[in-house]
Structure 1
C-alpha cells in the first residue's frame, strides 16, 4: 500500500486486479477506510499518482501543507 500526505490528509492507494483503490489512512492506529468517490485511472503508474492526487485536492493546499508527498 502506498501512503501519501495529500496537503495534510493521509490517503493510501492500493493496486488490485480491479484497479487502483483509495483509502483514508489513520497512521496512528493503522486503520484504512475505503473511499469510493476518488477514482484513479487504471492505466496510471505509481509515479503519476502524486500529481493526480495534487490535481484533485489542490484546493486543500496551504502554506503548512503545500504539496503531495509519499510517506510510506
Structure 2
C-alpha cells in the first residue's frame, strides 16, 4: 500500500488486479477506510499517482501543507 500526505490529509492507495483503490488512512491506529468517490485511472502508473492526487486536491494546499508527499 502506498501512503501519501495529501496537503495534510493521509490517503493510502493500492492497485489490486481490478484497478486503483483509495483509502483514508488513520496513521495513529493504522486503520484504512475505503473511499469510493476518488477515482484514479487504471492506466496510471505508481509514479503518476502523487501528481494525480495533487491535481484533485489542490484547493486544500496551504502554507503549512503545500504539497503531496509519499510517506510510505
The match for 1:2 is: 2
TM-score by length of 2: 0.99
> By how many angstroms is 1:70 displaced?
0.2
Q: Unaligned 5+ residue runs, structure 2?
A: none
4+ long deviations beyond 3 Å: none
The match for 2:23 is: 23
Q: Are 2:70 and 1:65 aligned?
A: no
The match for 1:43 is: 43
Distance in 2, matches of 1:27 and 1:64, equals 19
| Residue deviations 1:15-61 (CA, integer Å, cap 9, x gap) | 11110000000011000000000000000000000000000000000
Alignment size in residue pairs: 72
Q: Unaligned 5+ residue runs, structure 1?
A: none
Alpha carbon RMSD of aligned pairs, Å? 0.3
TM-score by length of 1: 0.99
* The structure with more strand, counted as a fraction of residues: 1
